[in-house]
Chains A and B, each alone.
Chain A
Amino acid sequence: MTKRGIALIVAFMVIVVLTILGSATISRSVSERFITQRYVELTRAFWLAEAGVNHALSELRNNYNVSSGNCKWETNLGSGRYCVDLSEKDINGRRTVTAHGYIPYTIPARAERKIKVLVESTPSNPNLLEYAIASSGELKITGNVKLMPPGSSHAKSTLTFEQVFGMTKDQVKAIAVSAQTAGTGHVYTNPSQNQQPVNGITWVDLTGSNSYKISSDWSGSGLLIVNGNGNDVALDISGSWQFTGVIWVIGKVSMSGTPVITGAIFAESSFTVESTLTGNAKIIFNSTTVSSTFDLLRPTGLKAWREI
């Protein structure tokens, strides 16, 4: 009676076959899981490296002359970390940033991605502008003109256009023309009174003894360059309005009324020319505004990006 074991054998065979199939499937699934995990970690490491590049760019925009170093900026983010190497400036002032993204943040990391970028700085030197208003010639300030900080004016300045902009006037005008095409700038010749818009990069050419007159119902921002003949009044300001950014005038500035200007003004003229400020004008020097305004010309940014 106990010799009938066919059911047991069949059941055993079925179990063996199913076990083989099941273990193969599990093995494949585990392998897939590891591949997927590796992919996820490499992707996270990549974005951590990107975060490192952006960190470095942010630091370099604040201070391009910051010292070099390996793992100069290191931050833990989520389950990973990034570490950024910064090179010295090369012969042309460019710097190389190498950002490493690691998962996990502990050492040794399972996944690493590296991004190498070449960073170039704006050729301009906005830090040379240190006063609310400065002039190559004389400066006559009367009335209730408010300069912030108090006394922030400089007459007979020896600064030149090339020193501050790091480029010639033609080069800057070419940038303004390109900006106009891109919708981020304007180029005017002998503009009418209160010509607008003035934002982004605005280049104004004046012929003869013409001037750009701004009286009221006007506002502006960005970089305004008024290219006069250097002797006559090029920018004639009156009325009540606001401007944020940098105004560079090649010629004489005549200011009255109650305009509020945040940033800086520079009047480039011969030594004998006298710019005049009267009325209740308010000029607030702001180095951050000045610096970001010059970024319109060519910001500190990437020249090349490569994953290594």
Chain B
Amino acid sequence: MKEKTKFLKGFTLAEILVSAVILSLIIAGIFAILSVANISWYTDMGLLGLQQQARQAMYKMVREIRQSSPLRKTIDGGKITFYIPPEVYADADGNLNPWVGPISYYRDVNDTNNDGVVNQIIREYPPGTKKIVANDIDSLSFCCWDGVDCCNPILEDCSNLYVLQIQLRATRTVRQKPLVFSLTEKVRLRND
């Protein structure tokens, strides 16, 4: 009988309490780690998405603006309007076809495309036809680059400058955490 009770001996209350506390601490620790990882995952993914769309927008703008010329573009702060050469340069008689445009890129701060969303980069061509290039754009600016800084069109003649600087800043809030990504590119206009 004595032998039997020896094998049936359970945990003492103290043992169970101590093990419960230790287990709680471990689970709480794991949960805290997972929670931080979860937040980090979402913010990192959010930042990646933000960077990706900002880069894509910049790539698209650079690729198209590059085809313009100093005299065939106008810059009004956050808006650029320009022309690019036609796909077919000349007709059968050798006459040059007109340039394509005006093509505009600007930041939509007043929801001009009526989609209920502001702070988008809009490409407009032909006039009245708007296409969303990127969302969550906090600022967008264009300027002619004189080699040192932005050329001030009020004080200087910027019409002969071939290099443009494009700056954009994208912002988004993910899980109460503000994310910011800025991008600056310089593009040389290829046409005279």
Contact = CB atoms under 8 A, between A and B. Distances in A.
A6 B45 CA distance: 34
Interface in B18-33: 23, 26-27, 30
A92 B90 contact: yes
Q: Which of B63, B84, B90, B92 has the most CB of A within 10 A?
A: B90
A14 interface: yes
B94 A92 contact: yes
Interface in B29-63: 30, 34, 37, 41, 45, 48, 52, 55, 59, 63
Interface string B56-82: 000100010011000000000000000
A136 B37 CA distance: 89
B67 A307 contact: yes
Contact of B67 (A21, A32, A35, A306): A306
A302 B93 contact: no
B191 A307 contact: no
A28 interface: yes
A14 B37 CA distance: 13
6 contacts: A10-B26, A35-B52, A91-B93, A91-B94, A96-B89, A118-B90
Contacts of B26: 10
A8 interface: no
Contacts of B3: none
B131 interface: no
A14 B30 contact: yes
Contacts of B85: 118, 304-306
A21 B41 contact: yes
A159 B66 CA distance: 43
Interface residues of B, number: 28
Nearest to B30: A14
Nearest to A35: B52
Interface string A57-96: 0000000000000000000000000000000001110101
Q: Which of A39, A90, A304 has the most CB of B within 10 A?
A: A304
B192 interface: yes
Contacts of B96: 303-304
A302 B192 contact: yes
Contacts of A21: 37, 41
A302 B67 contact: no
Interface string A279-294: 0000000000000000
A65 to B, nearest CB: 17
A41 to B, nearest CB: 13
Nearest to B90: A90
Contacts of A35: 52
A102 B173 CA distance: 40
Nearest to B94: A91
A37 B89 CA distance: 33
A303 B191 CA distance: 7
Nearest to A6: B23
B63 A307 contact: yes
A308 interface: yes
Contacts of A118: 85, 89-90
Interface in A194-251: none
Given A28-B48, A32-B48, A90-B94, A304 B89 contact: yes
Contacts of A107: none
A13 to B, nearest CB: 9
A32 B52 CA distance: 9
Given A6-B23, A17-B34, A304-B85, 18 more contacts: A21-B37, A28-B45, A28-B48, A35-B52, A39-B55, A91-B94, A116-B89, A118-B85, A118-B89, A118-B90, A302-B192, A305-B67, A305-B85, A305-B190, A306-B84, A306-B85, A306-B87, A307-B67
Interface in B78-136: 84-87, 89-90, 92-94, 96
